[in-house]
Each structure stands twice: as structure tokens, then as C-alpha cells.
Structure 1
Amino acid sequence: MLKGTKLYSIFTGTCPVCQNESMYTSSNMYNPKKTQEMHERCSHCNTKYKIEPSFFYGSMYVSYGVGIAIAMAIFVIAYFVLDMSRWNIFWFITLVSVVSLPVVIRISRNIWINIFMDYDKEKARKS
């Protein structure tokens, strides 16, 4: 349903151009050695993921926003829904932030590369 949109590529971690292959070498993002390990190129459409040296340093700015969004969502849920104390909210946000770090890293990289690349129907159809 969402295939062909940037959201599909962001949430699945697939090639932003053809969306036929994962950009990452490992599907387990909780393996610290493999969280950021990516293929150099898409085997389907030959798109080079690392456009220039240090390309993904820009994703650090995106990760800040994603992390703040998660922390704010946790705060709203903890304060208004769960009626937790401020001290418990602090520890809850800290715990969720640490546990979700690999997810934030990958989502941020996916958002960053999708800013610079667009879906191409022709390349997606190639076999």
C-alpha cells in the first residue's frame, strides 16, 4: 500500500530508489557491530548509498529530532495517562531512550538518505 512512498523506505529500511532490498547488512539492529553496517550499493538498481564521504553524519541532526519526539511522546503518556511522578518519568524516558537507540539510529539514517533520493518506478521494475 505504501510502497513507492518515502514513508515505506523510511520504516522498512529499503533502498530509497527501488525499495526492493534492505540497505542494511543485518536485520538485527540490536547487534552493536552491525547496527550501522550498510551495503555499499543496492544489488537491484545499483544505487550507491553513501553519496559522499561522511554522508551519514547529517543523520545525527535528524536523530536529535527523532529522540526528542520519542521523549516527548513518552512524557505525555507517562504524565497524563499513567500519572507517574516526575522522577519516575525521568527514569522511564531514560530507559526508553537507551532501549530505542538502535531504532533511532536506523530511522534517522533512513530519513536522511530519503531527503536526497527519490523513488524511481523504472528502476524498481528492473529485474
Structure 2
Amino acid sequence: MRKKSSSEALLNCKCPRCREGNMFKYALTKKWFSMEMHDKCPNCDQTYEPEPGFYFGAMFVSYGFSAAITLATGFILYNFFDNPDTWVYMTVVISSVALLWPAMFKYSRAIFLHLFGGIRFNSKYSS
């Protein structure tokens, strides 16, 4: 079996230490609105909460996602739909952020854990 890269583990919401165990109980493709996260990695028993309140910092990553979605939808509406009314901007931006919220939640936690969790890859925990 080939070794997974850190970016591949991040995109699949896998454990940063073994890169095999799932961080969340359900994948985005199975249960879109399920936010249940494992307490520990099912593969290597690495805890997913290094300290109490750790994921408060993930709110900043989620804010970045929301800002990017807002800017992208605003750019698309302005340039491709002949500058619609303000209510159209608000409706499209709020709807797109609301629909993408589960993905933003999961990926903001995964990014924050991988970058700031202090957990490094260890090949002895991967199969």
C-alpha cells in the first residue's frame, strides 16, 4: 500500500498521524448534515482534541471559506448576470453559504487540526 500524502489525508479528512483513520463518523457524500466527529482515531487512537476548546480557532478558517464564497458569488453575479439587484446578491450569497456550511465545518476542523494540532505523521501507525 502506498503512503498517503498529507494533502490527500487533509482532503479526505483523515487522521494527521496515521493518515488512514476518519476524523468524522460519516463522509460528506453519505450524510451531508452529520457533524459527528470521532473522539479518537479509529486506526491509531490519536485524540482529535489536543486541548479543550481547540476548535475555536477553526472558526477563523471557516470565516475565510465564507469570505471566499461571498467574494466568488459576488464576482460571478456582477460579471456574468449584468449587475443584479441587491436582494439577488443577498439571496444567492446566503443560500450558497448555507448549503456549503457542512463542508466548511468539516474542512475547517480538518485544516486546523492538520496545521495547528501539533500532530505529525508517524509511519509506524499506518498499515
- TM-score band, normalised by the shorter chain? 0.7 to 0.9
| Shift in CA distance, 3/72, structure 1 to aligned 2, threshold 3 Å | farther
Q: Which runs of 4+ in 1 moved over 6 A?
A: none
Three-state SS of the structure 2 residue aligned to 1:100 is helix
Task: Report the TM-score, using the length of structure 2 for normalisation.
Answer: 0.81
| Shift in CA distance, 118/53, structure 1 to aligned 2, threshold 3 Å | closer
Percent identical across equivalent pairs?
Answer: 27
| Shift in CA distance, 13/26, structure 1 to aligned 2, threshold 3 Å | same
Aligned mates of 1:112, 1:83 — CA distance in 2: 38
Aligned mates of 2:125, 2:85 — CA distance in 1: 49
Three-state SS of the structure 2 residue aligned to 1:8 is helix
Where does the alignment leave 5 or more consecutive residues of structure 2 unmatched?
Answer: none
Tell me how large the CA RMSD over aligned residues is.
2.3
Instruction: Render the CA deviation track for 1:24-45: whole Å, top value 9, x for unaligned.
Output: 01224533xx31x211111222
| Shift in CA distance, 51/72, structure 1 to aligned 2, threshold 3 Å | same
Q: How many residues align?
A: 122
Aligned mates of 1:69, 1:29 — CA distance in 2: 24
Where does the alignment leave 5 or more consecutive residues of structure 1 unmatched?
Answer: none
Task: Report the TM-score, using the length of structure 1 for normalisation.
Answer: 0.81
